[in-house]
Structure 1
Amino acid sequence: MDHYLNTTINVYRDAALKPDVGLCCTTSPMSALPGLEIPAIMKEMNYGCGSIVSARDLANNPKILYVGVGGGMELLQFSYFNRNAGGVIGVDVVDEMLTTCAANLSQAEIVNPWFEKEFIELRKGSALALPVDDNTIDVAGQNCLFNIFKESDLKTALQEIYRVLKPGGRLVMSDPICNQKINEALRNDERLRALCLTGSLSLQDYIKAITDIGFGTIEIRAKRPYRILAPKQYATDELIYIESVEVCAIKDAVPADGPCVFTGKAAIYYGDQEYFDDHKGHVLLPNQPLAVCDKTAANLVALNRNDIFISTSTWFYDGGGCC
């Protein structure tokens, strides 16, 4: 195991034994679900940087995998949607985190009459070698974990998720991103990387890492402010702005002209006809916005029409798109 991963394990071992309110973003959004009570200790150990639990991904009792269990909050939220024994699998490489998570789930069982610990199976294992069979998972999730990995390990982690997902399965995740250049001193600081700061990729490189594995559809669901690396506090000559991004990657076939990446763009037809049809599967009704992937947006712009408006990326996509 690379030395930087040992540093990461030590950071999260400490965070399991004593909750660290400064680790990642403990104020990230949490889903409010009827009848769900989240124990305070889970909130204190919310070591993610975004919200990845969404009802639209979780219909029909999906088999769910969550990598990097943290305090167990996401596991509890996921189990709300699959109340079968072993319906949710949680994987972590840190023994202390697994032990603490199990104890937190016992607390959750007390305050949630519907919840049983048996809904969740905790497994010891690495994101780089998941202890899960091929093509068995409907929804996989990770929150502020993959940004820790260096390039080769990130590729392996994404390949592992892709391997265990069923065709059509979804990877829901949140990670920090940074569109500025982060210098090598910061990149190579093992503790800062473990703290989910200096491993941040640009959004373009982050999406490319996902699509290179073979995911055919990428949905950018949110983009939020995350952290500032200031010259007086870090080894940098400029202010570095880090955001967090929430993404859903779908294991479907990559179209011949490349993956569909939704960044919150919409097309609006305002012409005189009943509708506009580009004969590529996209029909625009007058003044009714249609969410389009970046590829379709570019194709519509290339038509050089004066009756179609294409919005800029909103970095919010909630389904119902063109593809």
Structure 2
Amino acid sequence: MSYLDTTADVYRQAAQEPQVGLCCTTNPVWQLPGLSIPKRMLAMNYGCGSTVNPRDLTNSPTVLYVGVGGGMELLQFAYFSRRPGAVIGVDVVDEMLEASRQNMETAEQENDWFRSEFIDLRAGDALHLPVEDEGVDVAAQNCLFNIFKADDLRRALQETYRVLKPHGRLVMSDPTCEQPMSDELRADERLRALCLTGSLPLQEYLNMITEVGFGTVEVRAKRAYRVLAPGHYATDELIYIESVEVCAIKDPMPADGPCIFTGRTAIYYGGEELFDDQKGHVLMANQPLAVCDKTAGALLALGRNDIFVSPSTFHYDGGGCC
């Protein structure tokens, strides 16, 4: 049995009997006007964060969601795209697709605006998406890609890149970990399926995203997620795991490399009205500007004593330099 088979078994059981806390979401569930989330759907919220952000969802986009769970984020996406087939949900576990379908029927009873036909549930997996090239505006996954080993993760990222339209967005929430893990932990297929021991260091995770071609990446949030403690897991030290929310945009790759926003800000405080680096970045006096890591590094390299560049906050919400 492969680790993917183990993962399918874990979530087959979770579809048949909801398991609150299977994953531990790190932020409150979106409360939107007129949106009622069925109790069973909420109990099947098997994610570590959120991939639903209103600024990604203007103009009724077509959305692909991989790994449907109980369907909560499908329903939230449909809130912004209220038309037949606007939200495509893909899952490899038949029982999870059926559970999600049943939850949508309940959601239709609880929400006057919602129709089950807004959701298009499809059997398939992240490595072979049943979606045409450049067929969706937004793709999303929550606590799924961290389960994959390196080759499969690369394939999953390539598949989502394929199905996105130009300038489309891949929105993800995954656990990350900066500490090394033992071979025993890495080899534990059940712990990998539970979104624990597949966690990569953040920079490695970002590198894999940009290597498939995404020209812009936004790190929108980073939060505490879990700990693996000695005596409970095969580790001699306490291992701290965080969850990260990332948006990768299918922009053309800049000649000097991707623009990765990790929540850095530049402030010009010199005596002039503005500072222009002659590379497309204008800093107005005493006005903070969000900058990508590449621009932050270039500004620091100037060695000026009238420009402040903050460290990464790992919180970015738009309005940046690029």
TM-score, structure 2 as length reference: 0.99
Measure, in 2, the Cα distance between the counterparts of 1:270 and 1:28.
Answer: 36
Mapped pair 1:5 → 2:4:
yes
Partner of 1:72: 71
Partner of 1:40: 39
User: What's the CA shift for 1:42?
Assistant: 1.3
Secondary structure, counterpart of 2:290 in structure 1:
strand
Partner of 2:291: 292
- Equivalences for 1:1-323 in 2 at 5 Å? 3-26=2-25, 28-323=27-322
Moved over 3 A (4+): none
User: What's the CA shift for 1:208?
Assistant: 0.4
* Equivalent AA in structure 2 for residue 241 of structure 1: Y
User: What's the CA shift for 1:25?
Assistant: 1.1
User: What's the CA shift for 1:72?
Assistant: 0.4
Residues 67-111 of structure 1, C-alpha deviations (whole Å, 9 max, x = no match):
000000000000011111000000000000000000001110011
User: What's the CA shift for 1:32?
Assistant: 1.5
Measure, in 2, the Cα distance between the counterparts of 1:205 and 1:212.
Answer: 10
Secondary structure, counterpart of 2:174 in structure 1:
strand
Measure, in 2, the Cα distance between the counterparts of 1:215 and 1:155.
Answer: 13
User: What's the CA shift for 1:30?
Assistant: 1.6
Residues 51-79 of structure 1, C-alpha deviations (whole Å, 9 max, x = no match):
11011000001010000000000000000
Residues 158-201 of structure 1, C-alpha deviations (whole Å, 9 max, x = no match):
00000000000000010000000011110010000000000000
Residues 26, 45 of structure 1: 8 Å contact kept: no
In structure 2, the gaps of 5 or more residues are none
Secondary structure, counterpart of 2:130 in structure 1:
coil
Residues matched between the structures, number: 322
User: What's the CA shift for 1:122?
Assistant: 0.2
TM-score, structure 1 as length reference: 0.99
Residues 216, 249 of structure 2: 8 Å contact kept: yes
Measure, in 2, the Cα distance between the counterparts of 1:213 and 1:31.
Answer: 31
Residues 63, 136 of structure 2: 8 Å contact kept: yes
Measure, in 1, the Cα distance between the counterparts of 2:31 and 2:275.
Answer: 40
Residues 24, 49 of structure 1: 8 Å contact kept: yes
Percent of residue pairs identical: 70
Residues 220, 316 of structure 1: 8 Å contact kept: yes
Residues 26, 224 of structure 2: 8 Å contact kept: no
Secondary structure, counterpart of 2:80 in structure 1:
coil
User: What's the CA shift for 1:27?
Assistant: 5.7
Measure, in 1, the Cα distance between the counterparts of 2:42 and 2:192.
Answer: 23
